[in-house]
Amino acid sequence: MMDPSETDNFNNQWKKAFENASETPPPSVWEGIEARLDRDENDIIPLWWRTPKLWYAAASIIALLVVGGGFWLNNKNSGNFSGQGSVEMASKQPDVKQDSKNLNEELSDFPVADTNKNEPFIAKSQPEVEKSSDQNERVAAIERKSEKTSTPDKPILDKINSAGGERAIAKAKPIKESDLIIENKDINEGNLAAEIASVKVSALKEKEGASIADLKPQEAIAAVENEVMEINALTPMPYNELAVYMQKRYVFFKPEIVKEEKLPELKKSNEYWAGVGIMPATFNPDVQIKEAPTAFSALQNSRQKSLNGTNKAGNSFALQTQGGMRLSKHWSVEMGLSYLKGNSQYEGGGYVLDPANARSTNVLENAMVSLSDKAALNYDASSGGFGQTLANTVYIEVSKNIGNNYQYLQLPLQAGFTLNPDKKLSYSVLGGMMANFFLSNELETASGDVIRTTASDEVYRSLNWAATTGLRLNYKLATRWKASLMGSYQRAVSSGFRANQSMESHPYLYGVSWGMLYSF
């Protein structure tokens, strides 16, 4: 007996050892999971479109676009940038004044070359500040120039840098148009304004040929003010970014594009079964004599009466083997091979007696003998002959049975529909055709003679088709074994005798079979 405390200690050690145990699974596991999830999601309607949050987001984006678009259009149409620009400029003025004291130094230090490295933000300045009074034209010019993404004329900027000492060059080549590139978008507007101011003042100085001392601060500020306003005119563009936000949202909610993969086709799981059975049955050959045979036709009273014979079904049986294949949940197809021993009796039709040799013959016997040469030979040999002279024969109207037994080999082909296929008790309705291969027929006469007819005698059709139907109860005994009880009905669709014979036969059968089925 284990000590409980010892057991607990033992278990606790194991528990502790594996409490935080971790083992990295290989990447193939997640790939497999993802593939199965993808496969599952093919059939799933995405939920995101039903999410109210998405609709709120979409509505707010649309509202933002409408408001933003209206605001942008309003700005564009009005063309008035003085408001914000003036205020900003006013706040920048002290810096500019302070910076103007050391303009020459600043010109040499101004990182124009550096600003040429990047070009996210291009501003274009025009030295001829006094001449160009129309701000709208400038804005248009700025917009045109801002479309250029290439680096502007570096030589011109270099000229601005060296403007302090080389006035002659400046005079020979007055700068009509100089591009300034402010590279850093994050630069604050105060510094930007100051830098632009310093550049502009130097440009003005160069153009006018005046010394730095001659340039009045107010003029410089006024000149710079115009240029800063041009730059400010570029600022109300961030609405472009709205599209980016919108896109990001859609990307977030966008269902992943699922690659179409050809899934391996699921292999159909056909179920096969085989079975054996025995079927007690009642078999009726339904033989009809159409014309009175020779011995009977000679007599006036027997001609019609001989045709009144009837068939009586006898106890018969069939040994059956069958094989089936399940096509779908309910449907199946079945084939089989059976041996049928069909016994019956023929009654009536009367006898003809030959007083000369005291031999009598039944109408069926006589009809059969007249159909088959071989049967006639057998019959003559066994009975000593009948009807050599038909003149003295007498018709006796007596009802006596003679045995009429058949043997067939049967090949049924049936379709089946099964109810409750996977339950313990299932029901199958079957229907189909059956090929009956004639083996033999034996007529047992009242006198004990046997007239045997086989397929080679060419009296009966060697193959006779019959329709068959039935209802089968299947009881599941084990996983693979089933017991079956089936009631079936078979009926020949054509005569068992060859064409143009004086007899017809449409055998039919009722039977109840019991069998065992084994599923593979």
Partner 1 sequence: MTFNEQELVNGCKQRNRLAQKQLYDVFGGKLFAICMRYTKNRSDAEDVLQDAFIKIYENISSFRNDSPLEYWLRSVVVNTALNHLRQQKYLKDLDDIEVYENGIADREVTLGDFQMQQLMGLIQELPPGCQVIFNLYAIEGYQHNEIAQKLGISEGTSKSQYARARGILQQKLNREKRFDDGSVRNRQL
Residues 218-257 that bind partner 1 (CB under 8 A): 256
The answer to the question of residue 33 lying near partner 1 (CB under 8 A) is yes
- The number of residues making up the chain comes to 520
Smallest distance, partner 1 to C-beta of residue 421, A: 23
DSSP letters, 197-215, are: HHHHHHHHHHHHT--TTTS
- Quick check: 298 and 393 in contact, CB under 8 A? yes
The answer to the question of residue 300 lying near partner 1 (CB under 8 A) is no
Choice between 44 and 244, CB closer to partner 1: 44
Contact segment (CB under 8 A) with partner 1 among 25-33, 123-131, 419-427, 499-507 equals: 25-33
* CA–CA gap between residue 44 and residue 185 (Å, rounded): 46
What separation in angstroms does the CA of 416 have from each of 409, 427, 430, 472?
22, 10, 4, 10
- Helix H, strand E, coil C: the string for 319-373 is EEEEEEEECCCCEEEEEEEEEEEEEEEEECCCEEEECCCCEEEEHHHHHHHHHCH
The answer to the question of residue 37 lying near partner 1 (CB under 8 A) is yes
Smallest distance, partner 1 to C-beta of residue 30, A: 6
The answer to the question of residue 264 lying near partner 1 (CB under 8 A) is no
The answer to the question of residue 22 lying near partner 1 (CB under 8 A) is yes
The answer to the question of residue 108 lying near partner 1 (CB under 8 A) is no
Contact segment (CB under 8 A) with partner 1 among 30-38, 93-101, 228-236, 297-305 equals: 30-38
- Quick check: 436 and 409 in contact, CB under 8 A? yes
Smallest distance, partner 1 to C-beta of residue 183, A: 32
The answer to the question of residue 55 lying near partner 1 (CB under 8 A) is no
Smallest distance, partner 1 to C-beta of residue 3, A: 11
Residues 417-436 that bind partner 1 (CB under 8 A): none
DSSP letters, 56-93, are: HHHHHHHHHHHHHHHHHHHHHHH---HHHHHHHHHHHH
* CA–CA gap between residue 128 and residue 481 (Å, rounded): 107
Q: Largest Cα–Cα distance of the chain, in whole Å?
A: 172
The answer to the question of residue 11 lying near partner 1 (CB under 8 A) is yes
Smallest distance, partner 1 to C-beta of residue 266, A: 18
Choice between 13 and 462, CB closer to partner 1: 13
Q: Which of 5, 44, 267, 300 binds partner 1 (CB under 8 A)?
A: 44
Residues in Cβ contact with 178 at an 8 Å cutoff, skipping those fewer than 6 apart: 124, 125, 126, 127, 153, 156, 157, 159, 160, 203
Q: Which of 4, 14, 269, 456 binds partner 1 (CB under 8 A)?
A: 14
End-to-end CA distance of the chain: 50
Smallest distance, partner 1 to C-beta of residue 241, A: 21
Tokens of residue 55, six digits: 């609709």
DSSP state of 504: E
Smallest distance, partner 1 to C-beta of residue 110, A: 44
- Give contact residues for partner 1 (rule: CB under 8 A): 2, 6-7, 9-11, 13-18, 20-26, 28-30, 32-34, 36-37, 40-41, 44, 47-48, 256
